[in-house]
Amino acid sequence: MLQLCGVKFRWPGQGAFGLSLSDFAVHQGETVLLLGESGSGKSTLLSLICGTVLAHSGQVLVAKQDISELSAAARDRFRVEHIGMIFQQFNLLPFGSVVDNILLPIRFAPQRRRRAGDGQAEALRLCRKLGLQPNILPAKAARLSVGQQQRVAVARALIGQPPIVIADEPTSALDAGSQSAFLDLLFDQVAENNTTLLMVSHDPRLARRFDRVLQMEDIAQIESLAA
């Protein structure tokens, strides 16, 4: 589902660090945890997978598509069609209503929109599944509690059933109990749709739930070049 081989990338600017990655792959329906300390290149790897930056050499294949062959606008669309994103800070639009936040990705992704069918009904269904009260749908995202925001972020990532869900440190803001409850919800949904899940974290305690656990330093080399 995801395949990176021989990838080299360097951020622009003096003293910026680079990343090189010989081989990294995630298969369809697999749940993978990528462990790494901050500064280990996790964000760079995610940017490469999502196509917001392009590798200088090597190939990045997402759903068998070499994303470097796509134009910038096509990459934006391709990303949202195939990848549901969950961020560390959840990144909801605080001024938007819950339902607008959930429906935002399918606004830009026709295939996911088609799969979602009636967007409002699908948003409601996902909220129910994730244990959210239907009456919070029209509420502003900024008014939600952290736990509610997190569920909304998951609903946003899952709507329209993207084949891949990428979660970037989604549990770091939570205490242990909430972490566990959150992962239960996420894994239920991922299993239901046979979705590929790639989670990035620094917390090894999450490892036992995943099919496969990778250490960032095993797959990628950081090149920090003195200017």
Partner 1 sequence: MILRLAIGSLGARALTVAMTILAIALSVVLFLGVEKVRAGAKASFADTISGTDLIVGARSGSVQLLLYSVFRIGNPTNNVTWQSYQEIARQPQVDWIVPISLGDSHRQFRVMGTSLAFFDHYKYRQGRGLAFDEGVVMADLYDAVIGADVAATLSYEVGDPIVVAHGIASFTEHDDQPFRLSGVLEKTGTPVDRTVIVSMEAIEAIHVDWRNGAKTPGTTTPTEVIRQMDLTPKAVTAALVGVESPLQTFSLQRAINQYPNEALLAVLPGVALQELWGIVGVAETALLGVSAMVVVTALIGMMATIFSSLNERRREMAIFRAMGARPSIIMGLLVLEAALTAAAGAVLGLGLLYVGLIIAQPIVDGAFGLWLPIEAPSLREIWVIVGVVAAGAIVSLIPALRAYRLSVADGMMVRI
Positions that interact with partner 1 (CB under 8 A): 43, 46-47, 50, 52-53, 72-73, 76-77, 79-81, 85, 87, 91-97, 100, 103-105, 107-109, 140, 142, 156
Q: Measured from the CB of residue 180, what is the shortest distance to partner 1 in angstroms?
A: 26
Q: Measured from the CB of residue 222, what is the shortest distance to partner 1 in angstroms?
A: 16
Distance, in Å, from the CA atom of 158 to the CA atom of 178, rounded to the nearest integer, reads 20
Looking at the Cβ atoms of 6 and 108, the one nearer to partner 1 is 108
Half-sphere exposure of 109 (CA within 13 A, CB side): 30
Distance, in Å, from the CA atom of 51 to the CA atom of 112, rounded to the nearest integer, reads 19
Looking at the Cβ atoms of 32 and 49, the one nearer to partner 1 is 49
Query: Could you tell me the two tokens for 113?
Result: 């929109």
Q: Measured from the CB of residue 177, what is the shortest distance to partner 1 in angstroms?
A: 28
Looking at the Cβ atoms of 110 and 204, the one nearer to partner 1 is 110
Query: Could you tell me the two tokens for 2?
Result: 């995801």
Q: Measured from the CB of residue 107, what is the shortest distance to partner 1 in angstroms?
A: 6
- Beta carbons of 78 and 65 less than 8 angstroms apart: yes
- Burial of residue 32 (number of CB atoms within 10 Å: 0-12, 13-18, 19+): buried
Q: Measured from the CB of residue 98, what is the shortest distance to partner 1 in angstroms?
A: 12
Looking at the Cβ atoms of 26 and 46, the one nearer to partner 1 is 46
Looking at the Cβ atoms of 177 and 224, the one nearer to partner 1 is 224
- Beta carbons of 133 and 140 less than 8 angstroms apart: no
Distance, in Å, from the CA atom of 98 to the CA atom of 95, rounded to the nearest integer, reads 9
- Residue 215 Ramachandran class (φ > 0 left, ψ -120 to 50 alpha, else beta): beta
